[in-house]
Structure 1
Amino acid sequence: MNSGLPKRIRFTLMLPVVLILSAPVQSASLLDVSELRRGMQGVGRTVFRGTRIDTFQVEILGVLKNAFGPKTNIILAMLSGDPLETTGGIAGMSGSPVYVDGRLIGAVAYGWAFSIEPIMGITPIGEMLEILERPDAAAHTSIGGSTSSLEMQLSNVFSTIPEGLDVGQMQRVKTPVYMSGFSSEVLPGLREAFASFGLLPVQGGGGTDESLPEPTLEPGAALGVQLIRGDFNMTAIGTLTHIEGDRLVGFGHPMLFSGSTRLPMTTAFIHDVVASQIQSFKLGAAVKQVGVITQDRAPGIGGVIGKEAEMMQASISVRSPNRAETFEMEVLRNRELSPLLIQSAVVSSILSAEKARGEATIRTTLKLQIDGRGDALEFMNVYAGSRGLGEGVMGVTRPMMFLLTNPFEKVRVASAEFDLTIDETIKAARIESIRLDRSRFEPGDRVGLTATLRPYLRESFTVGSSVTIPSYFREGMLTLRVSSARAHLTQESKRIPGYFHVNDLDALIHVLENEHRNDALIVELLANRPGATVNGIEVSSLPPSVMVAMKGSRQSGNVRPVNQTVVSETIEQTDYVLSGQQIVFLSVGKEDGAIRFGPGQSGPGAKKK
């Protein structure tokens, strides 16, 4: 990154629509950092109230060479003027342009936690203008998908330092993110996630409000970037630094370190500045979409006026005994933040349906339309208990989280539909015991069983099922396992760990799509026969010669042995979220055949018939 001025400054004619949105802009005279001297006086531009651009005074203190790495300089300056004497640095000032002798030197962008005086770091304009030289992202580019690996690694390293605790660490001036539609219960999680990006969540004003006075796009004007829009809204607001034709730069530091992106860019109105001993911030709202943010880099963000944004479509339907609502929104595409933002929206949707916590049963459905994947993926489940709502929110968003954060391929979700049905009772039951219809078994026999289920605060009842012994199983011991989905998952992770160690996106989708629902009663017969998982797929009951050949594979990690295989399985759907399991050992093909219950278990079928 070069701290000097770019080799050429482009002057592009605005489109007619752009002339309406922004004031006529003449070429700004630029001042290189090499020409700055201590004691020089300057002026900054930003909005403190409404849409009027106010000025503040700047005194140059020096230049910090190589502040964040080779050839990345920061101009050190003291700011003054109303209201900075009482507020100090203000969240939302990021990008405020600073001029010395009428020439642009850069944008206010950095500061120090708990500083008594507003001594700030200014990103040189020469570094910011390099953003304008980058080509626009393609319409399908996914935010976070094209991030420079070095930039993301640096962002992750910096985020491990507890913000505000190291007073000597230069930090980005916080960017307020105004939210509407979100409940206060989700704020702590959002605050923690946003902290590593230097974002400050602020309730209220996240959506566009075209009834507000429309600002003019010019240096010093408030500039908004929408992360979510629709029934839920999030808009980050900073300051516009410089315009060239239909292109602009702002903020003076990264917002999400996303590289190429395509987020809605808006004008913004500032209601006022909220002074705080911890962090003063501008209280604002987006006014109107005017273009798209195409770059999110170390020296700032860059946008194009008049272009359209591209976001992920999502809907959330919530049904309860008292209410049925559907919420529509568009969400940014980001591997880390998108799942959290959607999770927060789902929680807020449930709270709006008048059911915050307590006993509940929640049935969930998620439909994901993924580009290049044909039919939509569908995931259904049910959760119950005092923590049922929380488990439901985590469960219904879990497949999207795994898919978006997978390490194998970029996944572009075209649309996501969440459906949640809430019943204010607990429909949960424990598998209490099982009874078998006989005690002696031969190959090919049908094993009939009756499972006794104990519902929460209700009388026990029974569910009948059966499973067939394969005719090829001649003689020996079989394990009959009757389990809930959660108990089954625990056992399977021990029996076939290779199944859950996926190596590609197809295997991940296969595991997610084949998870059992929590209301399923799973009846299985298992034999102590060798098998294997090949690239995560189970291959059962293999001959010894095949096992030897597979173990001799020259590729590591693709074959994992399995010592016990499932030879027969039946799934019974119930009306209850089940827990627990019962295990019975069956002797097959022997005259003195018998059944034996697992450790700590007994049941009505324990006696021979």
Structure 2
Amino acid sequence: MTEESGALRRRSMFLYLKGIYLMPKLYLWAVLAAVMLSSLTFARADELSSAKRIDPEDLKQIMLVKDVKTGMKGYGKTVFQGTKIETFNVEVLGILKKANMGTDLILVKMSGGPMTGRGANIIRGMSGSPIYIGGKLVGAFAYGQAFMKEPIGMVTPIEYMLEAWDSALPQTPSSFSPYGTAMLEKPIPLDGKTFSRVRIEPGDPESASAEDGTLVLHPLSMPLAVSGMSPHIAAKLSRNLKPLGITPVSGSGPARDKSNLNIKLEPGSAVAVSLVTGDIDMTGTGTVTYRRGNRILAFGHPMIDGGTVEGVTGMGPLDAPISTAYVFGVSPNVYVSSKDAGPVNVVGRLLHDRPWGISGEVGGEANMIPVTVHVSDKSSGRYRDFNVRVVNHPLLAPSLIVGSAAQAIYNMRGTPSDATAAVKVQVTANEVGTITRENIWFDAMNIESAAVKDLQQILSMLQFNKFHPAGIKRVEVWADIIPNHGTARIERIFIPEAKYRPGSRIDVGVVIRPFGQEPVTRRLMVGLPSNMPGGKYSLQVRAGTAQGAFQDGSAAARLQAMLGMAQPAPAAENLRQLLDRYLERDKNSDLVARIVLPGTVPNVAGEKFSGIPPTIAEAMRSLKSTEPGMDRDEIKTLVSTEWVLSGSQTLAITVEPLDLTEKKTVKAAPAQPRQEKQGGQSGSAADPKAPGGKMSI
């Protein structure tokens, strides 16, 4: 391992005030590079700081970090209330060399406004507040610490933020100190202690630890406020998004009554970036740092951090709407104070989420994913169409769409009780067209959690597969909620004979007990192939819900599981086949009979060839090539029911050898049953109460 790669691994996460390291770092770096629409690139510190890379027009407006000295005083701009831009005082305490991904940071002390007037100190939502010295823009306030008794934080120099406008972004990372530790030019007193070092550290500020004399600071996250979502669904969404450093909090929502205000995006004004709009709103609010023409820079740190994924700070290209914002007020807190703000009017689009800030354009329109959920509650006769638009990014869209769909169902059926849902999912994506899946689900407490599982799986396969992400164009869901306990379990199975000839059919009786009702009998006809080898076989009858997990062991699947998404299946040669494999899977209401055969069948380009003559199958096996593969062969038949089924039962059958098929079938003696581990029942059997039944279990 080279010294540079070792440093890269030691440089852990660069987070907001959140994040827990959950997974090994090495492969996750590669996974993120594969699944993001465009991989994140880092600029060398020496290249970024060079005035030659800065547009002359911008150079006139800014002060380079090399010219900033300890003791210099200036001012900052931000909105504390409404839309009025106010100023606050700033004093430079020191310069931290190569503390932020190989670039410098400026340590400052601030005063004025509610920071000192109301004891709010560091305030979330101030991220991006422009800092000026001598009338020149120095950078954006971006970093702070919890439980601070004084408003001390760090500023991202504007010269690094300007790289978000560079059309030729450097591709290689710079060298940097582990965990971003840097020496101060002069020790500073704070809270009765003296600090000579400053370190940027990921994770929860409450658990931050450092040696004596080291001040630990964290990227100051803007509140990602959510409105229109219930607490328990927001909590699930938060768990899924936590690996990316995203923690939604309850917010006031859009300030629709302020839409008549003429708010201009300028340095110091509040700016909102939305990940979800419509019947649910999920928006982060920060501050505009710099504007030239229709282009803006803001925040001073990424909006969405790489979370627990090493080395990734910012999501790279991120197409989301940006809006003017209204600040309802500042909430002082001993832990970390925050602004309560909401979006007002959409005025443009976000373009890049970069390590040193975000860039966007005024006047553009974001390409969002429209999501519509049609929900009907059969108990009340209510019906509603629920509409949202979701940011189109492969790491964000699946969780946000699933959470929005779950909320739509919860809005109609929010009381914990028995409920069955008949759900139709329709997802339109690039290259593969429209994917449709219908199923029924049951849950005794939260039907919304069960009802979105097919949607979750389809979105996962589109965005997290071993082939390539397929851009989602539209999502539509229909959910009919029925207030009943629509389940049934398989109690036992019976057959009229114990021995069968190749080419014959097995009449399988299945005793099913619906919840709270008397048992009913359903029948399945299982046809045996005419060339089926003689021997003993297991006949299994199971519920469609009993099939195995749809997953693989790829790194992409592990990242996907980390994000709370279901995992994709193997044995496919392309994305279309992967989707087809899923759509072919049994539904929860299916009653499935299955016999696993002893041989294998060729699998060519993901397609399994069952029932071909043995001589042809043997010839295909002998090919000196990695193709074809071989899969286990099986006989399978199913019928649909009106319940969500559970359970599995098994019987042993005998298939006579081909050379004995003309002999009279010999009836076997009754056999004692044996119980399977999960309650399944085995043994040769027939039901004496059934027509033609000859043996009892």
TM-score (norm 1): 0.86
Please name the residue that 1:165 is paired with.
207
Please name the residue that 2:276 is paired with.
228
1:402 to 1:428, Cα distance in 2 relative to 1, 3 A: same
Please name the residue that 2:393 is paired with.
334
| 2:114 alignment partner AA | P
| 2:596 alignment partner AA | L
Could you tell me how far 1:160 is from its partner in structure 2?
A: 7.8
1:251-297 Cα shifts (integer Å, max 9, x gaps): 11111212122211111110100111222111111111111111111
Please name the residue that 2:444 is paired with.
386
Gaps of 5+ in 1: 12-25, 137-146, 152-156
Report how many aligned residue pairs link the two structures. 570
Mapped to 2, the partners of 1:175 and 1:439 lie a distance apart of: 70
Mapped to 1, the partners of 2:520 and 2:172 lie a distance apart of: 57
Mapped to 1, the partners of 2:550 and 2:85 lie a distance apart of: 65
Please name the residue that 2:81 is paired with.
49
Please name the residue that 1:219 is paired with.
267
Task: Find the partner of 1:538 among 581, 586, 608.
Answer: 608
Please name the residue that 1:247 is paired with.
295
Could you tell me how far 1:539 is from its partner in structure 2?
A: 3.9
1:194 to 1:43, Cα distance in 2 relative to 1, 3 A: farther
| 1:182 alignment partner AA | M
Please name the residue that 1:258 is paired with.
315
Mapped to 1, the partners of 2:399 and 2:350 lie a distance apart of: 21
Please say if residues 585 and 596 of structure 1, whose CA atoms lie closer than 8 Å, have aligned partners that are also in contact.
Answer: no
Task: Find the partner of 2:63 among 16, 28, 31.
Answer: 31
Is the aligned partner of 1:121 residue 2:154? yes
Question: Which deviates more from structure 2 when the two are superposed, residues 523-532 or residues 93-102?
Answer: 523-532
Could you tell me how far 1:523 is from its partner in structure 2?
A: 1.7
Mapped to 1, the partners of 2:201 and 2:503 lie a distance apart of: 61
Please name the residue that 2:376 is paired with.
319
Please name the residue that 1:68 is paired with.
100
Please name the residue that 1:582 is paired with.
649
Task: Find the partner of 2:91 among 34, 59, 62.
Answer: 59
Please say if residues 421 and 480 of structure 2, whose CA atoms lie closer than 8 Å, have aligned partners that are also in contact.
Answer: yes
Please name the residue that 2:531 is paired with.
472
1:184 to 1:385, Cα distance in 2 relative to 1, 3 A: closer
Task: Find the partner of 1:304 among 353, 361, 368.
Answer: 361
1:6 to 1:330, Cα distance in 2 relative to 1, 3 A: farther
Please say if residues 274 and 284 of structure 2, whose CA atoms lie closer than 8 Å, have aligned partners that are also in contact.
Answer: yes
1:273-332 Cα shifts (integer Å, max 9, x gaps): 011122211111111111111111111111111111111111112211222111111100
1:510-564 Cα shifts (integer Å, max 9, x gaps): 2221111000001233322233555554344674885586487564xx76654x5
1:4-38 Cα shifts (integer Å, max 9, x gaps): 44544366xxxxxxxxxxxxxx9962111111111
Could you tell me how far 1:596 is from its partner in structure 2?
A: 6.7
Aligned Cα root-mean-square deviation (Å) = 3.2
Is the aligned partner of 1:268 residue 2:335? no
1:10 to 1:209, Cα distance in 2 relative to 1, 3 A: farther
Please name the residue that 1:205 is paired with.
252
1:488 to 1:219, Cα distance in 2 relative to 1, 3 A: closer
Could you tell me how far 1:97 is from its partner in structure 2?
A: 0.1
Could you tell me how far 1:343 is from its partner in structure 2?
A: 2.3
| 1:131 alignment partner AA | A
Mapped to 2, the partners of 1:364 and 1:135 lie a distance apart of: 47
Is the aligned partner of 1:565 residue 2:598? no
1:40 to 1:524, Cα distance in 2 relative to 1, 3 A: same
Could you tell me how far 1:503 is from its partner in structure 2?
A: 5.5
What secondary structure, in the 3-state scheme, does the structure 2 residue paired with 1:351 have? helix
TM-score (norm 2): 0.75
Please name the residue that 1:482 is paired with.
541
Mapped to 2, the partners of 1:491 and 1:80 lie a distance apart of: 56
Aligned pairs for 1:354-433 within 5 A = 354-374=413-433, 376-387=434-445, 389=447, 390-433=449-492
1:27 to 1:548, Cα distance in 2 relative to 1, 3 A: same
Mapped to 1, the partners of 2:541 and 2:508 lie a distance apart of: 10
Please name the residue that 2:233 is paired with.
186
| 1:522 alignment partner AA | V
Mapped to 2, the partners of 1:73 and 1:346 lie a distance apart of: 43
| 1:100 alignment partner AA | I
Could you tell me how far 1:214 is from its partner in structure 2?
A: 3.0
Could you tell me how far 1:211 is from its partner in structure 2?
A: 3.1
Gaps of 5+ in 2: 1-42, 175-179, 181-199, 211-215, 305-313, 553-567, 676-680
Task: Find the partner of 2:115 among 62, 66, 84.
Answer: 84
Task: Find the partner of 2:285 among 230, 237, 244.
Answer: 237
Mapped to 2, the partners of 1:406 and 1:309 lie a distance apart of: 26
Mapped to 1, the partners of 2:598 and 2:525 lie a distance apart of: 21
Please say if residues 502 and 530 of structure 2, whose CA atoms lie closer than 8 Å, have aligned partners that are also in contact.
Answer: yes
1:28 to 1:84, Cα distance in 2 relative to 1, 3 A: farther
| 1:605 alignment partner AA | D
1:551 to 1:112, Cα distance in 2 relative to 1, 3 A: farther
Mapped to 2, the partners of 1:37 and 1:282 lie a distance apart of: 30
Please say if residues 534 and 560 of structure 1, whose CA atoms lie closer than 8 Å, have aligned partners that are also in contact.
Answer: yes
1:392-448 Cα shifts (integer Å, max 9, x gaps): 233432221232222421211110011222112111111111121334422222211
Question: Which deviates more from structure 2 when the two are superposed, residues 568-577 or residues 218-227?
Answer: 568-577
1:517 to 1:547, Cα distance in 2 relative to 1, 3 A: same
1:33-70 Cα shifts (integer Å, max 9, x gaps): 11111111010000000110011111101111111233
Mapped to 2, the partners of 1:287 and 1:112 lie a distance apart of: 29
What secondary structure, in the 3-state scheme, does the structure 2 residue paired with 1:216 have? coil
Please say if residues 232 and 345 of structure 1, whose CA atoms lie closer than 8 Å, have aligned partners that are also in contact.
Answer: yes
Is the aligned partner of 1:442 residue 2:490? no
Could you tell me how far 1:208 is from its partner in structure 2?
A: 5.6
Mapped to 1, the partners of 2:144 and 2:107 lie a distance apart of: 9
* Aligned-pair identity (%): 28
Mapped to 2, the partners of 1:61 and 1:535 lie a distance apart of: 64
Please say if residues 58 and 77 of structure 1, whose CA atoms lie closer than 8 Å, have aligned partners that are also in contact.
Answer: yes
Mapped to 2, the partners of 1:289 and 1:548 lie a distance apart of: 64
Please say if residues 542 and 648 of structure 2, whose CA atoms lie closer than 8 Å, have aligned partners that are also in contact.
Answer: yes
1:388 to 1:116, Cα distance in 2 relative to 1, 3 A: closer
| 2:235 alignment partner AA | P
Please say if residues 431 and 580 of structure 1, whose CA atoms lie closer than 8 Å, have aligned partners that are also in contact.
Answer: yes
Question: Which deviates more from structure 2 when the two are superposed, residues 461-470 or residues 208-217?
Answer: 208-217
Question: Which deviates more from structure 2 when the two are superposed, residues 95-104 or residues 252-261?
Answer: 252-261
Please name the residue that 2:570 is paired with.
500
Could you tell me how far 1:227 is from its partner in structure 2?
A: 0.8
| 1:166 alignment partner AA | A
Could you tell me how far 1:3 is from its partner in structure 2?
A: 2.7
Mapped to 1, the partners of 2:549 and 2:475 lie a distance apart of: 29
What secondary structure, in the 3-state scheme, does the structure 1 residue paired with 2:392 have? coil
Could you tell me how far 1:177 is from its partner in structure 2?
A: 1.7
Mapped to 2, the partners of 1:106 and 1:200 lie a distance apart of: 26
Mapped to 2, the partners of 1:554 and 1:442 lie a distance apart of: 36
Please say if residues 91 and 279 of structure 1, whose CA atoms lie closer than 8 Å, have aligned partners that are also in contact.
Answer: yes
| 1:330 alignment partner AA | R
Could you tell me how far 1:604 is from its partner in structure 2?
A: 4.4
Please say if residues 226 and 236 of structure 1, whose CA atoms lie closer than 8 Å, have aligned partners that are also in contact.
Answer: yes
1:307 to 1:522, Cα distance in 2 relative to 1, 3 A: same
Please say if residues 271 and 286 of structure 2, whose CA atoms lie closer than 8 Å, have aligned partners that are also in contact.
Answer: yes
Could you tell me how far 1:578 is from its partner in structure 2?
A: 0.9
Please name the residue that 1:295 is paired with.
352
Could you tell me how far 1:380 is from its partner in structure 2?
A: 1.5
Please say if residues 323 and 347 of structure 2, whose CA atoms lie closer than 8 Å, have aligned partners that are also in contact.
Answer: yes
1:559 to 1:195, Cα distance in 2 relative to 1, 3 A: same
Please say if residues 500 and 536 of structure 1, whose CA atoms lie closer than 8 Å, have aligned partners that are also in contact.
Answer: no
